[in-house]
Amino acid sequence: MGKLDGKITIVTGATSGIGRRTVEIFVEEGAKVVATGRREELGRSLESALGKDKCIFVTADATKEADVKAMIDACVAKWGRLDCLFNNAGGPAPVGGIETVPVEGFDAAMATLVRSVMLGMKHAAPIMMKQGSGSIINNGSVAARRAGYSTSMIYGAAKAAVNHLTVCAAMQLGEKSVRCNSISPGGIATGIFAKALGLSPDKADTYAQAMKAGMAKNQPIPRAGIVDDIARAAVFLASDDSSFINGHDLVVDGGMVGGRMWTPHQEGVNAMRKAFGVDEA
């Protein structure tokens, strides 16, 4: 038996990276999935690979209310209910200092990262409240918790808004037995970093594998995060195993935001001992 047997789910931003892998693993765990995104060719390839009895693709821009409503309507029309929505769609934000931020870029990033989450919750919530059950999962970031953990300060601010909006919604929806939680990834090897630096989405996705060696040094666990790490966390929050978890931000980062790394810290301590002429204990 799968952990999501019988669950009807939606995953946004499903054409690549975390979203695509989450769709695949949701299906492996027994869910039926509406996968959404803007790149139709990639979405149709996912639908074809998994089979339309398990996954249908709906072309949708998560920043547009009409598209979001249409994707949720398509899910209910196809399978009659909605048990989990993973608001995963995202993208890069302007880089550079605060004095260089273009207003248009700021507004676009907030639409992609925050408005999309709000719209997904807005249109999923009435269905789930009527059912008296459901799980909403929003994709946050460790950049919401610590400044300097993204190439863009605007990205960090937007993800902080996502994490807090999640908690605010959880306080309302929990009264109807609908759970709302977020996942905050650390350094996950996807194309989003290359996208942030200006590469096109198709080219950026090809750099994910090459980034792993560098990213392995960013946290105590000595490997880069992979999309499966986030997909598996989403499975947990979508499943009945997390039925008493609400308003929580699940950090999946190998310990990145836990504090100072042990070995560099100890090297610094030993350097001070030497400078002070103190023998090691």
Three-state SS string over the chain comes to CCCCCCCEEEECCCCCHHHHHHHHHHHHCCCEEEEEECCHHHHHHHHHHHCCCCEEEEECCCCCHHHHHHHHHHHHHHHCCCCEEEECCCCCCCCCCHHHCCHHHHHHHHHHHHHHHHHHHHHHHHHHHHHCCEEEEEECCHHHCCCCCCCCHHHHHHHHHHHHHHHHHHHHHHHHCEEEEEEEECCECCCHHHHHCCCCHHHHHHHCHHHHHHHCCCCCCCCCECHHHHHHHHHHHHCHHHCCCCCCEEEECCCHHHCCCHHHHHHHHHHHHHHHCCCCC
Q: Which of 26, 86, 155, 193 is catalytic?
A: 155
149 is catalytic: no
Would you name the residues annotated as active-site residues?
Answer: 155
